[in-house]
Amino acid sequence: MRLANTSVAVSDERAHTAQSLSGDAYATFIHDLYVEFLIMDSHHSYSQVKGVSTGTTILAVKFNGGVIIGSDSRASMGESYVSSKTINKLIQVHDRIFCCIAGSLADAQAVTKMAKFQLSFHSIQMESPPLVKAAASIMRELCYNNKEELQAGFITAGWDRKKGPQIYVVSLGGMLLSQPYTIGGSGSTYIYGYVDAKFKPDMSLEEATQFSTNALALAMGRDNVSGGVVHLVVITEAEVKHVVVPGNKLPKFHDE
């Protein structure tokens, strides 16, 4: 029986305490770490690994004829390091279906890769473009069955022939819900009031674009782990259009 080479990243406080240990105390520390490493094999993830996380703001809104799905572009590590200024959190899982992710970037990428594969397989079997609900259901299955290990939430939005534009949100534990508009990520808390007040059903494309850009700009202005540029994807029956609003073109508000 051999253990493979493994490294276990430890949080800052533990690292600090470890550096000051010696002798028996150090042996105990290593022993405890080893125990946690063993226990990590089992069902629970006592994950001390603080990897790259998308502290983020994501939203999706239905308008007359399509959906807009949007996000900021910042990926952060811990609270104070921006590991990417220009990451794209809008992932295409099929021709007219997009996903955006909030939470652990690694988890989100793994889930969306799996979902993309399963969805394309399903679409080939059915010999027709998949339903948005099918895509969302696949994400929900993955999130629900692996809820102990995963730390990511998703917004799935798109257009299909059966029901037109739709938005589904899959939350952390694996709940699936359909909504006319939805926001997510750490920056979303600051814009609940704004989107509740400003959303109208059946908006035009221009109104919906303004709504999304404003909401994301406001959230980026208040949340320090959201920022960068605004990525918007407009999905309609006819086409999929990716719009990027750079920092200097974002709307400014009263105190800026």
Point out which residues bind another protein (CB under 8 A): 1-10, 12, 14-15, 18-19, 22-24, 26-27, 30-39, 46, 48, 179-181, 189-197, 199-201, 214-215, 218-219, 221-222, 253-255
Nearest to another protein of 144, 194 (CB atom)? 194
Q: CB burial class (10 A; 0-12, 13-18, 19+) of residue 153?
A: buried
| DSSP states along 166-205 | EEEEE-TT--EEE-SEEEESGGGGGGHHHHHHH--TT--H
Work out whether the CA dihedral 73, 78, 80, 84 comes out positive or negative: negative
Nearest to another protein of 80, 125 (CB atom)? 80
Could you tell me the smallest distance in angstroms from the CB atom of residue 247 to another protein?
17
Torsion of CA 171, 70, 62, 131, to 10 degrees: -60
Could you tell me the smallest distance in angstroms from the CB atom of residue 115 to another protein?
25
Torsion of CA 209, 215, 218, 224, to 10 degrees: -110
Nearest to another protein of 115, 170 (CB atom)? 170
Contact (CB, 8 A) for 180 and 124: no
Neighbouring CB atoms inside 10 A of 131's CB total: 21
Neighbouring CB atoms inside 10 A of 93's CB total: 25
Contact (CB, 8 A) for 204 and 63: yes
Could you tell me the smallest distance in angstroms from the CB atom of residue 219 to another protein?
6
Could you tell me the smallest distance in angstroms from the CB atom of residue 175 to another protein?
15
Could you tell me the smallest distance in angstroms from the CB atom of residue 94 to another protein?
26
Contact (CB, 8 A) for 230 and 68: no
Respond yes or no: is residue 56 known to be catalytic: yes
Query: Of 164, 179, 173, which Cα lies nearest the Cα of 132?
Result: 164
Of the residues 17, 28, 54, 56, only one is catalytic, namely 56
Contact (CB, 8 A) for 77 and 87: no
Could you tell me the smallest distance in angstroms from the CB atom of residue 244 to another protein?
21
Report the catalytic residues. Answer: 56
